[in-house]
């Protein structure tokens, strides 16, 4: 079983060369992750391995990093089209793009959580993506910083009662001291006044 927090599609504002370099670095990072966060797939599906090998042979359309030892892979779409398989078991698909507004048409109702970087892109894209079905926005690197039973979990009764939109923006390192001071003041104000 895979966590629903596993990122499967990375839409990256980059040229093809930059996207291929990103894929190499991402693959290297995936191989050195903390095992408590992400382990090597134990039972890599044979049909997914075959799909990755077929994709590797289509080098005019895709650039593939890894996947030789069932350890996962990063697949870069050179045309902007998605491959014919769904990425899972530490397989990620990278789709480079030029304009962030190009992404809106790629999002569909089964897309639950979206991480956006830089944070300044969140506000202009948020309403457009919500209209396409996104219900949770996170800061990159914080997908596991949530409480179980939040409104984005389909098992919660309240999620069915209305449409929840959750924006989990986290401050940058430079903003952290002020963030914690404001948070402490909010808690103090709530309990005292």
- pLDDT > 90: what percent of the chain? 26
What is the reported pLDDT for 23?
96
Residue 59 has pLDDT above 80, yes or no: yes
Tens of pLDDT along 93-150? 999 999 888 888 888 777 778 888 888 888 888 889 888 888 888 877 766 665 555 5
What is the reported pLDDT for 173?
61
Nearest to 106 by CA among 2, 11, 1: 11
> Which long-range contacts link 19-23 to residues 24+ away (Cβ below 8 Å)?
19/63, 19/76, 19/94, 19/96, 20/63, 20/76, 22/94, 23/63, 23/65, 23/74, 23/75, 23/76, 23/94
Query: Cis bond leading into 157, ω under 30°?
Result: no
- pLDDT > 70: what percent of the chain? 74
Q: Which residues pair with 44 in a beta bridge?
A: none
Q: Which residues pair with 12 in a beta bridge?
A: 96
- Token pair of 178 as six digits: 């002020």
Alpha helices in the chain (DSSP H): 16-31, 46-57, 122-131, 157-161, 176-192
Nearest to 77 by CA among 90, 93, 54: 93
Residue 164 has pLDDT above 80, yes or no: no
Higher-confidence residue of 59 and 138: namely: 59
- Of 72-86, 95-109, 151-165, least confident by mean pLDDT is 151-165
Higher-confidence residue of 1 and 27: namely: 27
Residue 35 has pLDDT above 80, yes or no: no
């Amino acid at each position: 079983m895979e966590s629903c927090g596993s990122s499967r599609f990375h839409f990256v504002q980059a040229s093809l060369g930059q996207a291929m370099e990103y894929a190499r670095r991402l693959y290297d990072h995936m191989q050195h992750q903390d095992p408590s966060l992400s382990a090597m797939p134990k039972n890599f599906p044979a049909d997914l391995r075959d799909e990755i090998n077929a994709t590797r042979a289509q080098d005019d359309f895709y650039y593939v990093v890894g996947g030789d030892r069932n350890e996962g892979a990063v697949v870069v779409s050179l045309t902007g089209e998605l491959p014919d398989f769904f990425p899972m078991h530490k397989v990620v698909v990278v789709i480079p793009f030029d304009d962030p507004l190009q992404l809106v048409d790629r999002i569909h109702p089964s897309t639950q959580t979206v991480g956006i970087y830089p944070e300044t892109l969140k506000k202009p894209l948020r309403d457009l993506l919500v209209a396409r079905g996104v219900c949770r926005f996170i800061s990159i690197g914080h997908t596991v910083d949530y409480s179980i039973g939040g409104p984005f979990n389909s098992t919660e009764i309240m999620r069915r009662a209305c449409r929840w939109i959750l924006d989990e923006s986290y401050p940058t390192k430079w903003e952290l001291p002020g963030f914690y001071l404001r948070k402490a003041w909010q808690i103090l104000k709530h309990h005292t006044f």
